[in-house]
Amino acid sequence: MNTLPLAIPRFVSQRITGRSFAMNAAVILGASLLIALSAQFAVPVPFSPVPMTLQPLALILVGAALGSARGAAAATLYLLEGLSGLPVFSQGRSGLVMLMGPTAGYLFAYPAATWIAGFVAERGWNRSMFITGAGMIASIGVLYLGGWSWLAGPLGLGAKNAFLTGIAPFVVADLVKVAIATVVLPVIQTAIDRATAPR
């Protein structure tokens, strides 16, 4: 009998999704809609073509809750929803134009960023606030790398301007989002550990 505490993704898998394809699909769809909802909380940033949204927080929480595979699948499904014409991108936009515009680099990085958050959680590292925070910062770093490389390269802003417009305005807000998620996840993990501990 396994008496080890369950990591959050394993707990979700055993208690909610189980082995049912339909339930797995429903959970992934729901997570993609959460990412879409977080995109609608968009604030324009002066001197930047990229708005500030709640999506980084949604992505790391989806990854940490569902695990690497399901989290990345939810982020990928979100991109496909937007590409198909559903108004799921920031400010209700959609279509191929969004995957070629200023925010495309961030969008393409969503599955990888979510996968990293899930990878950390699957190994139970979300029990440590320090490791949880480090994993989430790595996840945000992937988003920054995707956004920066797109702005610097295909959009022609150059490395310095891409940093000043695509990363610098968001660092403080994203650190706050990481802090929120870092506090929330160990609390949830502790509750799961207590609920699943042998009596």
| Residue ranges of domains in the chain | 8-196
> Is the pLDDT confidence value at 56 over 60?
yes
What are the structure tokens assigned to 59, written together? 């992505």
> Is the pLDDT confidence value at 75 over 80?
yes
| DSSP output for 24-70 | HHHHHHHHHHHHHHHHTS-B--TT-SS-B-SHHHHHHHHHHHH-HHH
Mean per-residue pLDDT for 183-192? Answer: 78
What are the structure tokens assigned to 38, written together? 């977080």
The terminus-to-terminus CA distance of the chain in angstroms comes to: 13
What's the chain's Rg over C-alpha atoms?
17
Q: Give residue-wise pLDDT tens across range 83-117.
A: 999 999 998 898 888 889 999 999 999 999 999 99
pLDDT of residue 121: 87
Mean per-residue pLDDT for 106-135? Answer: 88
CATH entry 1.10.1760.20 includes domain 8-196 = yes
Phi first, then psi, for residue 43 (nearest 5°) are -120, 120
pLDDT band at 124 (very low <50, low <70, confident <90, very high): confident
CA distances from 93 to 24, 69, 86, 131 (A): 27, 27, 8, 35
pLDDT of residue 2: 47
> Is the pLDDT confidence value at 16 over 80?
no
> Is the pLDDT confidence value at 125 over 90?
no
Predicted TM-score (pTM) of the model is 0.88
Mean per-residue pLDDT for 19-28? Answer: 81
Residue with tokens 């925010």, as numbered in its chain:
103
pLDDT of residue 1: 41
Beta bridge partners of 43: 52
What is the overall mean pLDDT for the chain? 87
Farthest CA pair distance, the chain: 61
